[in-house]
Structure 1
Amino acid sequence: MTSTWTKECTICCDDIPITDFTISTTKCNHSICRKCLLKNINYLLNAKGKTDIECLTSDCHEIMEYEDIKRVVDKDLFERYDHLCFRQAIRKMPDFRWCKNPTCGSGQEHFEQDKAPIMICFACKQKTCYTHDVPWHEGRTCAQYDLEKATTEGATIDAINRETKPCPKCQIRIFKNGGCSHMTCTTSGCGYEFCWLCGADYKKIFKDGNSHHEKTCELYNRSAYRF
């Protein structure tokens, strides 16, 4: 005779047949309805890519073991879990690198490390730079690649410093895209108006004239009353 006994699940608060409950982890033995447990595992694996799945019971932080997951989920979801566990494990290998061919998906250990930085993929034969973890920089040594990267990054920083300035009020950097030196910060909630050249407050300039520019500013005029 089939039992019709039910009990309330502490997670979904529904009355569930006792036969639909299972322990969350073998370490804590908290009993959860299978539907809640599967929903949580599926979400963490597929939406978050997490393999450290805690017991759902409040204040319990025991992690579901490999065998716990295998006991609860179906074949497809377990394969997803197994695949993520494998990828996370090999990421911890210091000599491991993924192939940089976007259509490949393979990876391998490169025991020569920085001494012989060209890693050739066993699967697709694409070359990867072990040292920089990028597609191999053909025609350039690692030292030359470092120099080129430093030069490019330095030029980018110089360009940002030339073409942007921090708003004197909110300090968020803004671009000047032509026009006069009267700037208005477009950052939400700011709207501060200032001189691009010296940072002076344009409300004071409009009210009392160009004497409110900094004395080193080319727009400064001590005798001018109005802008």
Structure 2
Amino acid sequence: MSSIGTKECTICCNDIPIADFTIFTTKCNHRICHACLLKHMNYLLNGKGKTNIECLTSDCHEIMEYEDIKRVADKDLFERYDHLCFRQAIRKMPDFRWCKNPTCGSGQEHFERDKAPIMICVACKEKTCYTHDVPWHEDRTCAQYDLEKVTTEGATKDTIDRETKPCPECQIRIFKDGGCSHMICTTSGCGYEFCWFCGADYKKILEDGNSHHEKTCELYNISAYRF
């Protein structure tokens, strides 16, 4: 039972002063307490690296827009949101490629494109093939690489190189089948947990926060949210 001047938050179920409630978006006007909203945003932005923040009200799927985030977030949280939005934007650039070193997580534009397909990472100096978007195929031209046979289970080698990464512990390549960046190697006897983007030990990330990601990783954050 809420007392006069307070209201029960539908998320934490606590009686909160009405003045401490905040609307999710200007589109839906659903309200939860400011603390719950900040915790929700912090978890998605710093914990999951996601920028699509949905209203928590049942059956409402309105997304917080730029101005909604700016209205609610503190300086550090808004800068995190801005950073993630920037990373998402550069992914859409046709000349942009991520470094394929599984422990790097950096990326850059490669203006030479297919004319000079070897892209050398400015962060770790590893080579990536711009044309195929895979680790550079040593001793083979792009044309020779194209002629390689289809490998096991009908997947081409470039698909395997592009969509799998070696487990940092056992080195067996594993597919990312959706979801977040938290990977768990299902190889028998392994079970190592790591970040898909940079290969960092995820147990340390869960214990101490996102400062354990590599500094070039898009999820790295020195003031990270702790789970």
- Which TM-score band applies after superposition, normalised by the shorter structure? 0.5 to 0.7
Name the larger-Rg structure. 1
Structure 1 residue 65 corresponds to structure 2 residue 65 = yes
Q: Distance in 2 between matches of 1:21 and 1:86?
A: 30
TM, length-normalised to structure 1? 0.57
In the TM superposition, what are the counterparts of 1:125-136 in structure 2 within 5 Å?
Answer: 125-136=125-136
The structure with higher relative contact order (CA 8 Å, sep 6+) is: 2
Equivalence for 1:85? 85
Deviation at 1:83, TM superposition (A): 2.2
Identity between Structure 1 and Structure 2 (%): 85
Find runs of 4+ consecutive structure 1 residues off by over 6 angstroms. none
Deviation at 1:24, TM superposition (A): 1.0
Query: Which of 17-26 and 79-88 deviates more?
Result: 79-88
Q: Distance in 2 between matches of 1:146 and 1:46?
A: 39
Amino acid at match of 1:80: R
Q: Distance in 2 between matches of 1:157 and 1:52?
A: 35
Deviation at 1:12, TM superposition (A): 2.8
Structure 1 residue 45 corresponds to structure 2 residue 48 = no
In the TM superposition, what are the counterparts of 1:1-227 in structure 2 within 5 Å?
Answer: 5-102=5-102, 104-148=104-148, 150=149, 153=151, 156=152
Secondary structure at 1:16 match in 2 = strand
Please list the CA deviations of residues 143-201 of structure 1 after superposition, one character each: whole Å capped at 9, or x if unmatched.
222334x26x2xx469xxxxxxxxxxxxxxxxxxxxxxxxxxxxxxxxxxxxxxxxxxx
Secondary structure at 1:70 match in 2 = helix
Secondary structure at 2:147 match in 1 = helix
TM, length-normalised to structure 2? 0.57
Q: Distance in 2 between matches of 1:120 and 1:157?
A: 31
Q: Distance in 2 between matches of 1:105 and 1:142?
A: 24
The count of residues paired between Structure 1 and Structure 2 equals 151
Note the aligned Cα RMSD (angstroms). Answer: 2.5
Amino acid at match of 1:61: H
Q: Distance in 1 between matches of 2:112 and 2:146?
A: 20
Deviation at 1:34, TM superposition (A): 0.8
Deviation at 1:17, TM superposition (A): 0.8
Amino acid at match of 1:139: D
* Unmatched 5+ stretches in structure 2: 155-227
